[in-house]
């Protein structure tokens, strides 16, 4: 049954949905004429897939290929598959994606899965399936995190996601409200969304320029239950907003995006930190994370809920217990002001400063495109099969940038930029 058959009017405004499709192609990807596009999406996001596909072909796309995921077929595996199934993944698919990227294809992901889909499943099986998938995905992921290609992520208000965000509302109302929040955060409601993104990118670039000029050796986060020193990688480079991939195309990897970010030094993180928002990870809500670092490595980790899943994540590989990203987001960001917990990292990470366990981004190094993996590691970049962001910022957090001589420069006070 189609969405329009379920109600007297579409749950998702088709005009704004079309504008989101246009922004995904013109701002997120800046798709080049003749370029192929590989897209992944929940099957519920078919209306947005169609809009993006149309705009991609209008922009001159060569071939658009979409791979769909379905919640019920995902659950069928956990209900009926043999135990050995959870150590397998479709490596052939990801090898094919990597080949497509090497041949010049762009990448677009539509987020919107039910964040609590696997909440009732065996955590050990979820962890095994994730590990197998991460290993299989590595050939494609390397092209993405290495910024070899232009790529972006946008979102669609899947009904199951909407009901997680608005559990007390009827499904149709929840979908409409989540759609409104997605459109607002993605700047679709602006008179000219493309121009609005251009101006927003200019602001983010000004922030990164200021941070890059200072060449801080470390950042210090202080606030309730937090005193964390995050050393920054040697030759690190702050990024934010639109960036130019190795293929020469400037794209916005995340829509929405409010962050500026860089690579921490994997062996120079010390202190303790407490999360300021819950982390939704593979169907589990991990709340009140508390972690202590010594010489870059997690030496103690606990959480009020989801601790078992958190510790399985940390056991993924050697790099899972070290940081691969540190990002700054003002507490007054539009997503923070919405007051919503989206249960979706794409949105929740843009509501607060955050750090990420796992893989670093090589583009966050000076001349990163020409560094070997060994050089990245030598300069402090982390390597891992995972990259999981979790929020540590709020209106109570102060951040100082520390120069090599130990001098401190205020960067944020009470969650806001200090005016630079």
With cut-offs at 50, 70 and 90, classify the pLDDT of residue 6. very low
Give pLDDT tens digits for 78-94: 999 999 999 999 999 99
Give pLDDT tens digits for 93-129: 999 999 999 999 999 999 998 988 988 899 889 889 9
Mean pLDDT, residues 316-332: 96
With cut-offs at 50, 70 and 90, classify the pLDDT of residue 9. low
With cut-offs at 50, 70 and 90, classify the pLDDT of residue 220. very high
Please give the sequence-ordered ranges of beta strands (E in DSSP) within 78-168, or none if there are none. Answer: 106-111, 151-155
How high does pLDDT run on average in the chain?
94
Cβ contact 395:277 at 8 Å:
no
- Mark out the alpha helices in 349-387 (DSSP H runs): 373-378
* Residue located via tokens 């100082």: 400
Exposed e or buried b for every residue in 85-123, given b needs 16+ CB within 10 A? ebeebeeeebebbbebbeebbbbbbbbbbbbbbbbebeb
| Domains delineated in the chain | 3-185 (3.40.1830.10), 216-238+259-417 (no CATH)
Q: 391 forms bridges with which residues in the sheet?
A: 354
Question: Percent of the chain having pLDDT more than 90?
Answer: 86
CA distance 158 to 31: 26
How high is the pLDDT of residue 420? Answer: 59
Helix (H) or strand (E) holding 163: helix 159-165
Q: Look at strands 290-294 and 243-244 and give their pairing.
A: unpaired
pLDDT greater than 80 at residue 7: no
pTM: 0.87
CA distance 194 to 326: 28
CA distance 305 to 315: 18
Q: 67 forms bridges with which residues in the sheet?
A: 40
């Amino acid at each position: 049954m189609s969405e329009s058959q379920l109600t007297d009017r579409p749950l998702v405004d088709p005009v704004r949905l079309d504008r989101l499709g246009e922004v995904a192609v013109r701002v997120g990807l800046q798709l080049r004429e003749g370029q192929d596009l590989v897209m992944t999406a929940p099957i519920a996001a078919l209306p947005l897939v169609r809009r993006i596909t149309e705009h991609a072909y209008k922009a001159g796309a060569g071939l658009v290929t979409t791979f769909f995921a379905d919640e019920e077929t995902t659950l069928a595996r956990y209900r009926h598959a043999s135990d050995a199934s959870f150590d397998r993944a479709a490596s052939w698919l990801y090898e094919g994606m990597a080949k497509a990227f090497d041949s010049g294809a762009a990448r677009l992901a539509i987020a919107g899965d039910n964040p609590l889909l696997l909440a009732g499943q065996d955590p050990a099986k979820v962890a095994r399936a994730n590990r197998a998938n991460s290993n299989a995905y590595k050939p494609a992921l390397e092209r993405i995190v290495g910024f070899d290609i232009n790529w972006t992520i946008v979102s669609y208000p899947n009904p199951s996601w909407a009901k997680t965000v608005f559990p007390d509302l009827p499904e149709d109302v929840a979908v409409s409200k989540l759609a409104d929040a997605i459109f607002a955060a993605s700047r679709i409601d602006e008179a000219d969304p493309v121009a609005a993104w251009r101006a927003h990118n200019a602001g983010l670039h000004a922030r990164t320029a200021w941070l890059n000029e200072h060449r801080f050796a470390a950042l210090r986060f202080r606030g309730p239950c937090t005193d964390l020193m995050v050393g920054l990688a040697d030759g690190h480079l702050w990024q934010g907003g639109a960036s130019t991939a190795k293929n020469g195309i400037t794209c916005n990897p995340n829509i929405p995006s409010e962050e500026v970010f860089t690579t921490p030094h994997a062996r120079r993180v010390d202190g303790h930190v407490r999360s300021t928002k819950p982390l939704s990870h593979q169907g589990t809500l991990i709340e009140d994370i508390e972690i202590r670092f010594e010489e870059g490595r997690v030496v103690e980790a606990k959480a009020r809920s989801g601790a078992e899943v958190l510790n399985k994540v940390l056991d993924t590989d050697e790099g899972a217990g070290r940081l691969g990203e540190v990002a700054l987001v003002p507490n007054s960001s539009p997503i923070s002001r919405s007051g919503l917990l989206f249960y979706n990292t794409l949105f929740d990470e843009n509501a607060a400063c955050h750090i990420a366990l796992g893989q670093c981004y090589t583009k966050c190094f000076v001349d990163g495109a020409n560094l070997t993996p060994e050089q990245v590691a030598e300069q402090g970049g982390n390597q891992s099969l995972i990259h999981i962001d979790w929020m540590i910022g709020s209106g109570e957090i102060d951040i100082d940038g520390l120069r090599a001589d130990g001098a401190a420069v205020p960067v944020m006070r009470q969650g806001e930029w200090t005016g630079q």
